[in-house]
Amino acid sequence: MLLGEDGRIDELAVLQEAAESHPELRPHRVAVGLYRRTDSGSLERYAQAETDVEGARTVVTELAGADAPELVLVNDDDLTYCKTRFDETSLAALRSGLGDLTDPLARALCWSALWNMTRDALLPAREFTALVLRFAGRESDIGVLQTLHAWAESAAVHYTARDHREQAGRRLAEGAAHELDAAGAGSGQQLAWARFFAQVAAAPADFEQLTALLDGTVTLPGLTVDQELRWAFLEPLAAHGVADEKRLDEELARDDTASGRRHHVRCSGRPPVGGGQGAVLGAGRGVGRAVQRPGGGHHLGLRAAVAAGADRAVHGEVLRGDRAGVDAAVHPDRDGRGARTVPRVPGLAGDAGRDGRLARLPRGRGSRPAPAGPGGP
């Protein structure tokens, strides 16, 4: 973008590039939106032009003469499926005021672009998680909020340098606890932050708060700790050895349903983080008992619960940068020589593996985050 002496746009061009492995440049119909702050402090669009992007450089002639923007949003209104980047001025505007964008679609497009930049190593993962903790609390779309939670956790686990992962996890937990307290009573955002807090809890203080919410000694206005949320709180408590097998069995007696049995397997079918192979063996026996219970549920559902439990174990070891712990969590039934050391779980054919949960961009038209289901992203 070139500006004239009068502060207006002389020329604004959209640049297109392709990966070396697939160097073809494809045509796109895009809208380019210009945003600036209003007197009230919000970021709002004041000009827009549609154009056909063809080749490496396309000049948007319709925007020549417009006032200089604080934010240029390529693919405004989500007309095509593409990755977008920001110029430095626009990136600075998002760093200081992403939450001030009044248009929910524009915010979602900016979040998606920032996440793509993180995955492509153009934006530090710690900066992306900081943006989530700073601005996600102002997100009005519950589906976008849940997607941001999944992306932030993925950034901490998969895109943060090993020496900084544990610190990144602690920041997420602290930020989630703060947003949980600040969320509107009884809102969908409050429930989403409660689930996210449980998902990233890692410190003793986090476990104390979860235990207090679970036992009812601490309550938050509007937050109903129903059976699903009780299991969500128990999951990290079990993963870190705070809730033992007896506590999980008590919860199963309270919720002796097909769903309750799957949750029980999900919690007890994983070793406590850092618990070693002995814990895995005990967990495997517990899973076997759950499968053999009368009416124990469909084997595929229980296998999925075991896989989710294994994923949580790996998650904890990865955050601490414990390579040996990751290997033990991913391959708990093999010793250093590749020999099988833990028997197969009775009633389950094959080995339970990781469920490979990673944040993904939605398929189909557009690049905005896809709304998550009621169970979370």
pLDDT at 372 over 60: no
* Other Cβ atoms within 10 Å of 39 Cβ, number: 5
pLDDT at 286 over 50: no
Q: What is the spatial distance between Cα 338 and Cα 327, in angstroms, rounded to a whole number?
A: 12
pLDDT value, residue 211: 96
CB 271 within 8 A of CB 231: no
Please indicate whether residue 292 or residue 129 has the higher confidence score (pLDDT): 129
pLDDT at 119 over 80: yes
Please indicate whether residue 268 or residue 200 has the higher confidence score (pLDDT): 200
Place of tokens 């934010």: 71
The pLDDT confidence band at residue 6, using thresholds 50, 70 and 90, is confident
pLDDT value, residue 325: 52
The answer for residues whose C-beta is within 8 angstroms of residue 244's C-beta and 6 or more apart is none
**Nearest CA-CA partner of 118 in 166, 157, 145:** 157
* Mean pLDDT computed over 85-105: 96
* Mean pLDDT computed over 112-135: 96
pLDDT value, residue 315: 54
Q: Which two tokens stand for residue 265?
A: 């397997």
* Mean pLDDT computed over 60-71: 94
The pLDDT confidence band at residue 1, using thresholds 50, 70 and 90, is confident
Q: What is the percent of the chain where pLDDT is above 70?
A: 71
| Most confident among 20-24, 70-74, 337-341 (mean pLDDT) | 70-74
Q: Which two tokens stand for residue 260?
A: 């309750």
**Nearest CA-CA partner of 71 in 55, 53, 51, 85:** 85
- Amino acid identity at 178: H
Q: What is the pTM of this model?
A: 0.75
pLDDT value, residue 356: 37
* Mean pLDDT computed over 308-317: 52
Please indicate whether residue 366 or residue 182 has the higher confidence score (pLDDT): 182
Q: Quote the mean pLDDT of the chain.
A: 80
Please indicate whether residue 322 or residue 35 has the higher confidence score (pLDDT): 35
Q: What is the spatial distance between Cα 372 and Cα 231, in angstroms, rounded to a whole number?
A: 19
336-359 confidence digits (pLDDT tens): 444 444 333 333 333 333 333 333
The pLDDT confidence band at residue 165, using thresholds 50, 70 and 90, is very high
CA angle at 183 for the pair 180 and 187, rounded to the nearest 5°:
110
pLDDT at 251 over 60: yes
Where exactly are the structural domains of the chain? 226-354
Q: Which two tokens stand for residue 205?
A: 């203080």
Parallel, antiparallel or unpaired: strands 43-53 and 9-11: unpaired
For every residue of 7-52, DSSP letters joined together read SBEEE-EEE----TTS-----EEEEEEEEEE-TTS-EEEEEEEEEE
The pLDDT confidence band at residue 20, using thresholds 50, 70 and 90, is confident
* Mean pLDDT computed over 234-255: 93
Q: What is the spatial distance between Cα 34 and Cα 42, in angstroms, rounded to a whole number?
A: 13
113-118, Cβ contacts within 8 angstroms, sequence gap of 24 or more: 113/83, 113/84, 113/85, 113/86, 113/367, 115/151, 115/359, 115/361, 116/83, 116/84, 116/361, 116/367, 117/85, 117/86, 118/151, 118/155, 118/159
